[in-house]
Amino acid sequence: MIRLSTFKSAITNAINQMDDIKVQLEQLAIPSSPSYKLEFHTNEVTEKKITELVKKLPSDSDLEIDYIYLFKVSGENKNISRIKQKFKTEKKRQQNTEGEKKDLCRINDCDSKQYFYVGRSQSIKSRIRQHLSHKYKGTYALHMERWCRELDHDVEVLIYEFEGKNNMVIQAIEDALWDRLNPCFGRKGDK
């Protein structure tokens, strides 16, 4: 059995950690623009296009850098209702296919008009490739190559770089963006 004093000590430590995170968030230099911006049309999501897009991103070797990324619809056709419907159809097809790994991210009850995914990663090149490609079976992601090519949408992936920040600070930023933007896919919180 754990002693009451152990719980009290743990709670005091948690309070101190939260105070430290609060200070770090207050002092954080907020990027005025994305560090990287990928743009593509939904009917272009092929392996060739995916390779071209991820070449623009830094290698996954620097674990001191965290990235927060957002998928959004841009251009004239900003309504994401067709994107959401197409994704739902693919998710349902996958769920009804026996033996197929269930690897499409969660669908949320959202009211966002543009943003459909908010995430973070230290391996940005790999993670964006997982979201775009159909090849990464078993990895929860958007897997856009499977379902989006019949759509007519311009998409932007906005990627913000944070170097040398505490993991809990990055998580707090991602969670706050998730609350603010209410994306249609994925889930809030540490994976």
Tell me, what's the pLDDT at 191? 63
At 53, the amino acid letter reads L
Helix axis angle for 167-181 and 4-27, nearest 10°, is 70
Pick 168 or 78 by higher pLDDT: 168
Phi first, then psi, for residue 60 (nearest 5°) are -85, 15
Largest CA distance in the chain: 61
- Phi/psi region, residue 75 (left: phi>0; alpha: psi -120 to 50; beta: rest), is left
Give Cβ neighbours of residue 53 (< 8 Å, ≥ 6 apart). 38, 40, 128, 132
Q: How confident is the model at residue 38 (pLDDT cuts 50, 70, 90)?
A: very high
What are the residue ranges spanned by the domains of the chain? 1-30, 33-181
> The tokens 């990287």 sit on which residue?
36
Over residues 107-130, the pLDDT tens digits come to 998 877 899 999 999 999 999 999
Query: Which of 33-37, 51-55, 95-99 has the lowest average pLDDT?
Result: 95-99
